[in-house]
Structure formats: structure tokens, C-alpha cells
Structure 1
């Protein structure tokens, strides 16, 4: 019995140092961010909930609570997004395949390892353009995009409702570190620079 035909794509190896640096920055950023989260008992303290007097009061509460509970709110958004993807396995598979394509073919690909498909060698610029087009198609022309948007809207709605009804007077808002390098996404700057330094565009 003959072996099944395989797609003639030569996938370049991942640059291990760049990948390790990215994973290290991601792990460090997540640990630091989660360490800044507020006790969940404060988030769900039923004695601290009341109806806002008007829209201005509601927006003021949302702003203050978003500053104080920003890490907790991001965790809630992530959980809603994760639940939505897990409940739709096909969309999760498509999204994971898209992310894997970015990792293997561009972000952590050594600069001296070209992408070869059907015997044709693609430059880094061409690979980037193909991945951008593929991302646009997947996000905007499939159910993945609508699922992500719906999950984000649901999570944002939960956060907005909680922020509007949670009275922030008992919260201490002056000890917040709102610097540009804090938060879940602080690792992206360093990771992007390290990956971009090893990949010509």
C-alpha cells in the first residue's frame, strides 16, 4: 500500500532562543499581573452593590472599578473567551492553526530558513502578507470572528454591569501601578523586538 500524499511544504524550524524568550516573558508577565489582582471576595462583596443614581454615576463607578479591578476584569474576559472557544471546537481548532502558522512561519522562524511551498521560496515579506491575508479571511469571513466578537462583547457587558453596580468608595485607588509596562500584555513589546531583530521583513 502506497503512503498517502503529503503537501509539499518545507516548514522551517522554530528559533528556539526566540521562542524561549517569548515564553519566559509571557510567564513572567502573567505571574506579575496575577499578583496584582484584587481579592475576589472584594469583587463579589454583595454588601458593596447598589443601583447607580444616574448614568454619570454609573460611568464614574465603571471607571474607578476598572482601575482597581483591571486584572480581575481581564481574567473574566479571558474566561468568557476561553469558554466560548471550548464550546465551539471547530473555531478553536481554526484559531489555534492560525496562531501556529504565525509562530512557525514568521514570528519564531530563523532568518536563514526560508518558507518553501510547492517548490517556491517565499521571502519574509511575502510570508507576512500571506499570513495577514489569511488572518483577515479567518477573522472576518468565518464564524471565528463573530465568535470572538460575541465573547468580547459578553465579557465587556459583564464587566460594565459589575462596574456600574459595585460601589467603589471602599476601594483604595491611589496604590495602582498604571505604568505603560504593567499588565498582561507588557511582554509583547520585548518579545516583538527580539523576534523582529532576528527576522528581516
Structure 2
């Protein structure tokens, strides 16, 4: 009488291929993180921004415009942070807009920029070419931005943030700021994050896009 042996399950040594675009996406995230960190490191102390003794009514519209220009040159990073905070708060208080915007961004990243051209995109059994995918993303972006509440939330937040920054710049006297040392470097600072992040994103996405040409 032979004893029953447990069934031996076959073990496969197949390896899961990691998409070739994963390093590019990781580099994209790292570049943005480094640029944000570098930009925030050059911000001015918030105590200078809210120093109540430095506020006064401008003498004229010309004086207010001059103050805004000088204060923006000095508090550039702080101002952009304020606008970003207003934008973030507006999106957090509108979950639908936040989820929709994040979904749209994820669609661009994973369906076009960082998705390999082979195999083609298949959704619900239908195969989409690269041109069809790009056209679908463009149409989706137009619908999301202009035909839903996302566009109004973004525009309202940007207008509110700009109004707060302009009001602060108009009433904050810049006489105590070292503008002579700061104005030559007006093109540097946090704004370099925007151009740097854009160029890094283009460089990271270049291999994936080039494969489609």
C-alpha cells in the first residue's frame, strides 16, 4: 500500500519585466523634488513678510506699482509659495476638482509620456494608436479644464493668490530691503524651479516621446 504524496506545484522562474520608462519617471520625480527644495531654500524669512511696522499706505498708484515690483523682486519665493498654498487649499476644499486634476495628470504621465510605445494601448478591448491616445488626452484636458468646475477653481485660486500678493506688495514699504543686492539676481530663485522642472521633465520624457516619432 503506497502512501499518498502531496502534489508538487511547478515553480516558474519567469521574471516580471519592469517597464523601461520607470527610471525616467523616477528621475522626473527626483528632479522636481530637488528643484522645489532648492527653490524653497532661497525664500525670505516669513517674519520680514509679516512685519507690521513695515506697512503703510502708498501715496499713489505709481508708488504702489513700484512697491509691488520691488517687493516681488525680494519676496519672490514667498509670494509664489502663498499662491501655491491658496491653490492647494482650493483644491483640497474641492475634492472633485482635485481628484479630476490628479487623474488627468496621471493619464498624461502613464498613458503617453512614460508609457512605452510597444505594446499599444488597449482599453476595453480596443487598441488605440499613439495619435489617437494623444488626441484623446488633449480632448480630455480641454473638457476637464474648460467644461468642468476644475477650470473655475484653478482660475479663482490664482486670482485670489495674485490679489493677496499684490495687496501685500502695494502696502509693504521696501525701504528696509536690500534691493540693490537682490535685483541683479531677479531671474534666479524659485522661478528657476519652473524652467528647471520643465526642462527636466522634457529630458526625462524625451526617450519615451522619441520612440513614438
| Coarse TM-score class (shorter-chain normalised) | 0.7 to 0.9
* Aligned pairs for 1:47-62 within 5 A: 47-62=53-68
1:139 corresponds to which of 135, 145, 157: 145
SS in 1 for 2:193: coil
Task: Indicate the larger mover: 68-77 or 169-178.
Answer: 169-178
TM-score by length of 1: 0.87
Tell me how far apart the structure 2 counterparts of residues 151 and 181 of structure 1 sit (CA, whole Å).
Answer: 20
The alpha carbon displacement at 1:177 in A equals 5.1
User: For the Cα contact (< 8 Å) 1:71–1:183, is it kept in 2?
Assistant: no
Aligned to 2:172: 166
2:133 corresponds to which of 122, 127, 130: 127
Structure 2: gaps of 5 or more residues: 1-18
The alpha carbon displacement at 1:182 in A equals 5.0
C-alpha distance after superposition, 1:127-182 (max 9, x if no partner): 12211110110000001100110010000000000000011111112233514995
TM-score by length of 2: 0.83
RMSD (Å) for aligned C-alpha atoms: 2.0
CA 57–181 in structure 1, closer or farther in 2 if over 3 Å, else same: closer
SS in 1 for 2:88: helix
Q: Which has the larger radius of gyration?
A: 2
Tell me how far apart the structure 1 counterparts of residues 49 and 154 of structure 2 sit (CA, whole Å).
Answer: 25
Tell me how far apart the structure 2 counterparts of residues 182 and 146 of structure 1 sit (CA, whole Å).
Answer: 25
Q: How many residues align?
A: 190
C-alpha distance after superposition, 1:13-42 (max 9, x if no partner): 682111111011111101110011000001
* Aligned pairs for 1:95-110 within 5 A: 95-110=101-116
Tell me how far apart the structure 2 counterparts of residues 76 and 64 of structure 1 sit (CA, whole Å).
Answer: 17
1:91 corresponds to which of 54, 75, 97: 97
1:33 corresponds to which of 29, 33, 39: 39
Aligned to 2:198: 188
Task: Indicate the larger mover: 177-186 or 98-107.
Answer: 177-186
The alpha carbon displacement at 1:110 in A equals 2.0
CA 76–147 in structure 1, closer or farther in 2 if over 3 Å, else same: same
Tell me how far apart the structure 2 counterparts of residues 86 and 181 of structure 1 sit (CA, whole Å).
Answer: 24
User: For the Cα contact (< 8 Å) 1:14–1:104, is it kept in 2?
Assistant: no
SS in 2 for 1:198: helix
Tell me how far apart the structure 2 counterparts of residues 37 and 48 of structure 1 sit (CA, whole Å).
Answer: 18
Q: Do residues 178 (structure 1) and 187 (structure 2) align?
A: yes
Structure 1: gaps of 5 or more residues: 1-12
User: For the Cα contact (< 8 Å) 2:42–2:189, is it kept in 1?
Assistant: no
